[in-house]
């Protein structure tokens, strides 16, 4: 069933470290061999063995309109025939900036970069330069890309592989990153108290998506805003995942909390590599060439990504989000029913079209420690059952599903039916 993928992986491992260009793709946490894909259309993807799957990852979020959306493809084709890159200014960059400013409540000015990691690294440098302070606070299980400052008790692939702290990160870099507990304002206050006048910023995934989907408790984000204001620290929302996904204005619109800086990615590239960070004018004006804080990028504002991203953003409307909510809610309700009927120790977390099924006896996963207690071995078996039935899920318990607006009623039915069969099989494992 997966013969060609297994052979392709064998060859890849001889040429590429671990055979993959991003660790989670290696399927290590599900004790498997990665699938190699050749094409996708709408909600479906096809591997090199010609197996078809319902795609529940959407390239980890960007493909909110599914694979090969005709309008996005046309925008890329049109752009490439005018020139793939100039390393110089184009008006499409300003159009993109204008649209982001229009949609995202916190953003008054924005700079484009090439990845979410670039965005978060740049946001931290900007916060340090603006405040003239050195320390940052992040949260256990939150992932902000692979920058050195962020690989301290990190989520995503670092969490999945059991590598919360990476070799190569110096002790001096690590000591500048303080770690608080998600949904625990007391842990944040303690860090500010013990490091008075030296904390530049608090960076957070307002909805954590890299230890599985973990929602903020009521008042948690509002409390962070107050703590940062009290201590003259910058509040950074990492909305690389949640931006334009959980609502058009992101998590900050959903929870009505306005950060000082917001990082973006994924959806704003329409499926092409992209990142951005933006915020208050007084902060953003500190960036070179206007201010003294340096950040640059040869391919930043690339016209292909700008055209694909702008086309995507223009397509986002109330109808799209209503459809996403309807699709996601049906899957959540169906899976919860299956969990109850099969007597499975599991719970589901969902915000909009982001969703995680946790194998745990807890009613809700609220933080990093709760996530650590989940049954990853059971998830690995569940993943394999679903894969064999033509459902492509994240190859890790600690990653969120990203559903697309092009999923059909047939897709929804299959996802619910396959989930029921997989949970039933787990009872006999």
Using CA atoms, how far apart are residues 28 and 8, in angstroms rounded to an integer?
Answer: 16
How does strand 199-204 pair with strand 234-238?
A: parallel
Q: Reduce the secondary structure of 99-139 to three states and give it as a string.
A: HHHHHCCCCCEEEEECCHHHHHHHHHHHHHHHHCCCEEEEE
φ and ψ of 185, to 5 deg: -65, -30
The CA radius of gyration of the chain, in Å to the nearest whole number, is: 21
**DSSP designation for 152:** S
How does strand 354-358 pair with strand 347-351?
A: antiparallel
Q: Reduce the secondary structure of 199-229 to three states and give it as a string.
A: EEEEEECCCECCCCCECCCCCHHHHHHHHHH
Q: What end-to-end distance do the CA atoms of the chain give, in Å?
A: 22
What is the residue-wise DSSP string for 324-377?
A: HHHHHHHHHHHHHHHHHHHT-S-EEEEETTEEEEE-SSSS---SHHHHHTS-HH
Say which residues have a Cβ less than 8 Å from residue 182's Cβ, sequence separation at least 6. 139, 140, 141, 142, 204, 208, 214, 216, 366, 367, 368
Which single residue is written with the structure tokens 């491992």?
13
In degrees, rounded to 5, the angle at the alpha carbon of residue 116 between the alpha carbons of residues 102 and 97 is: 25
In degrees, rounded to 5, the angle at the alpha carbon of residue 324 between the alpha carbons of residues 347 and 118 is: 85
Instruction: Give the full edge-to-edge strand order of the sheet including 234-238.
Output: 109-113, 275-279, 261-265, 234-238, 199-204, 135-139, 177-180
**DSSP designation for 258:** -
| Positive or negative: CA dihedral 62, 64, 66, 70 | negative
Active-site residues, by number, are 143, 238, 266
Residues, the chain: 429
**Contact between residue 266 and residue 275 where contact means Cβ atoms under 8 Å apart:** no
How does strand 109-113 pair with strand 52-55?
A: unpaired
């Amino acid at each position: 069933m997966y013969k060609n993928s297994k052979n392709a992986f064998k060859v890849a491992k001889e040429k590429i470290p671990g055979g993959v260009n991003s660790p989670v793709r290696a399927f290590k946490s599900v004790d498997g061999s990665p699938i190699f894909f050749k094409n996708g259309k709408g909600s479906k993807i096809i591997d090199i063995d010609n197996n078809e799957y319902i795609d529940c990852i959407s390239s980890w979020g960007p493909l909110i309109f599914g694979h090969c959306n005709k309008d996005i493809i046309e925008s890329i084709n049109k752009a490439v025939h005018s020139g793939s890159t100039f390393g110089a200014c184009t008006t499409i960059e300003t159009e993109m900036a204008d649209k982001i400013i229009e949609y995202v409540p916190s953003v008054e000015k924005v700079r484009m970069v090439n990845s979410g990691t670039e965005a978060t690294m740049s946001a931290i440098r900007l916060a340090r330069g603006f405040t003239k302070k050195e320390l940052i606070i992040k949260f256990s299980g939150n992932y902000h890309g692979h920058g050195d400052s962020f690989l301290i008790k990190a989520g995503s692939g670092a969490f999945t592989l059991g590598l919360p702290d990476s070799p190569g990160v110096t002790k001096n870099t690590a000591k500048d990153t303080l770690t608080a507990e998600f949904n625990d304002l007391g842990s944040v206050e303690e860090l500010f108290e013990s490091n008075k006048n030296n904390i530049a910023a608090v960076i957070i995934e307002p909805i954590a998506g890299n230890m599985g989907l973990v929602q903020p408790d009521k008042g948690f984000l509002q409390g962070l805003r107050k703590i940062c204001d009290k201590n003259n620290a910058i509040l950074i929302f990492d909305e690389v995942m949640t931006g334009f996904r959980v609502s058009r204005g992101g998590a900050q619109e959903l929870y009505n909390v306005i950060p000082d800086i917001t990082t973006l990615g994924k959806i704003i590239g329409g499926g092409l590599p992209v990142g951005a960070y933006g915020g208050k004018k007084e902060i953003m004006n500190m960036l070179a060439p206007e201010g003294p804080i340096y950040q640059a990028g040869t391919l930043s504002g690339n016209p292909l990504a700008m055209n694909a991203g702008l086309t995507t953003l223009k397509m986002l409307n109330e109808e799209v989000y209503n459809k996403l909510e309807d699709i996601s809610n049906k899957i959540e309700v169906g899976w919860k029913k299956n969990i109850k009927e099969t007597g499975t120790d599991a719970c589901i977390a969902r915000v909009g079209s982001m969703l995680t099924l946790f194998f745990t006896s807890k009613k809700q996963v609220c933080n990093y420690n709760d996530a650590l207690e989940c049954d990853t071995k059971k998830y690995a078996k569940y993943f394999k059952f679903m894969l064999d039935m033509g459902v492509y899920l994240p190859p890790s318990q600690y990653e969120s599903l990203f559903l697309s607006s092009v999923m059909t009623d047939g897709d929804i039915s299959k996802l619910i039916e396959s989930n029921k069969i997989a949970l039933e099989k787990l009872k006999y494992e």
